[in-house]
Amino acid sequence: MLRFTLSIVSLLLLAAPLRAADDYQLGPDSQRQEGVPRGAVTKHRWETSNVFPGTVRDYWIYVPAQYQAATPAAVMVFQDGGSYVSEERDFRVPVVFDNLIHQGAMPVTIGVFINPGEYLAGAGGKPRSNRSFEYDSLSDLYVRFLLEEILPEVGKQYNLRTDAAGRAIGGISSGGICAFTAAWERPDAFGKVLSHVGSFANIRGGHNYAALVRKSETKPLRVYLQDGGGDLDNAHGSWPLANQELAAALKFKGYDHQLVYGDGGHNGKHGGAVLPDALRWLWRGDALPTAKHSDILLDGEPWTLIGEGYRFTEGPAWDGQGNFYFADVGANQIHKVDAAGKISLFVAQSEGVGGLMFGADGRLYGCQGGLKRIVTFDAEGKAKTLSEGVAGNDLAVTRDGGVYFTDFDNGKVWYVSPQGEQRVVDEGIKRPNGLILWPDGKTLVVAEFAGQHLWSFQVQADGGLTAKQPFYTMRLLPGRTESGADGMAVDTMNRVYVATHAGIQVFDEQGRLWEVLAKPQNAFLSNVEFGGPDWGTLYVTCGDKVYALKSKAKGATLLSEAK
């Protein structure tokens, strides 16, 4: 009986129409339809790039028939533009755009199709492609190329939306990871990503994205990934596994995303077949997701601007009484922000003060670099010298009034005892910068501006430091060897927060990178401090501005412990 049943099943399977692997067909939305207005495509040449000097490339602009100059149009950029703009290949984007815009399934959208740059060769030579450098690199170069060169040029002729929700970017293979990188680097400029068989492999570091996503602040992006089981598997990695790992990371961090997975190979067949549905999904609604999915950040809480127009802000310090202080190093001043948010001048001539911190005694301590002094300020802003002879950069105050401070230029950490005795307690850190004590006062952490580590020490009874370790390893921006680590803060869970080039990097008690919080603006991030009535507000000094952000975490300082 069993043999008979299996035979019937086998016959039924043989009789059923089977689709061969990678045999994807284009649907009606990828075909010309009667009565659908047809957009116009024009070809252009770009030969004057400053971001990628010496390169030349073709690009095309698609303008839908429904475009009206009075209304800003959405814009979508495609890498490997010639593949996407052609009506003879897999994607046929102008045809799909025509149909979907006519249906109202996507907004009026101008398409920009850009080929990778190349360097022209001499007579008889072959042009050298710049494609992998532009597309596979994890940096902001390509998105800068778009925002500084191509889109402004297109904007001379057409009225384009500039908000992230009105801008999408897509590509195939290396062009797919390029699309993700552009949005990752500038989520304020591109909010929607389309990747076909994306090369999230170890070509120029793309395999790191799954890990980067998991430990970075969730960005307001919508991401559509397409791949198949027959995609590449070579020395760079496995494309199917890499796309699945990225999709898993996006899911973990709560991104609005899809991975459409088939049996196709490294080509545009499957991607072309699902393109209409992908575009419908990407362009559904206009709002982008804003949930943070973080145990540090609160959903719906944006950075609040405290003050602006300064030359270079530093040294945020909260006094535990409702007042916040910060230095404007460039103007040689210290400012005070009261509980009502009013900003007043606290010290008119600060003599180069950068680092500031309140001690357990309620006094404001500072590094007066211009006069090579460590000082305290009274309620009127008058300085009193604790020690002198060294130009300190930043400082941390102990419970008994001792002070650790960094000598940035000479690679030293100094200690000043409560009695005013000053001595070197460490040497060799490459440009030591910010420093912070754990809540118990037994662990000191020193930031290495010119390296990749935060160094931990055990604090001894006489102020000496032992057990030096590169305990925390910071994330570096692509192409940089310096973290830019500066000011630090610590919360009640012994998590360390450090201002770096990559953002606010947060490490757990065991020294593991936990999360990277985005900067409030694209400027040098110099310092971070906890404050507010419940010590649950992060204050940062960033370039010419000072910001605040309410968080789930609670700061741990000498003053917060006294509450």
What domains appear along the chain, each with residue ranges and CATH number? 32-282 (3.40.50.1820), 304-562 (2.120.10.30)
Instruction: Identify the helix (H) or strand (E) that includes residue 267.
Output: none
pLDDT digits (tens, 9 = 90+) for 257-297: 999 999 999 999 999 999 999 999 999 987 888 888 899 99
Confidence (pLDDT) at 14: 47
Q: What is the C-alpha separation between 385 and 368, in angstroms, rounded?
A: 9
Low-confidence ranges of the chain (pLDDT < 50): 1-17
Residue 88 class from Cβ within 10 Å (0-12 exposed, 13-18 middle, 19+ buried)? exposed
Rg (CA), the chain: 28
> Is 372 within 8 Å of 387 (Cβ atoms)?
no
Structure tokens at 441: 């006062």
According to DSSP, the β-strands at 256-262 and 525-531 are unpaired
DSSP 3-state of 322 = coil
Q: Does the CA dihedral 547-548-549-551 come out positive or negative?
A: positive
Confidence (pLDDT) at 560: 67
Contacts for 193 with CB less than 8 Å, ≥ 6 apart: 168, 169, 170, 179, 180, 183, 221, 222, 223, 224
Q: Provide the 10 A C-beta neighbour count for residue 240.
A: 17
Confidence (pLDDT) at 22: 85
Residue 341 Rama label (left phi>0; alpha psi -120 to 50; beta): left
> Is 261 within 8 Å of 274 (Cβ atoms)?
no
> Is 318 within 8 Å of 312 (Cβ atoms)?
no
Q: Locate tokens 């190329």: which residue? A: 145
Looking at beta carbons, which pairs linking 470-473 to residues 24 or more positions away fall under 8 Å? 471/445, 471/511, 472/445, 472/496, 472/498, 472/507, 472/511, 472/513, 473/511, 473/513
Confidence (pLDDT) at 479: 86
Whether this prediction's pTM lies above 0.75 is answered by yes
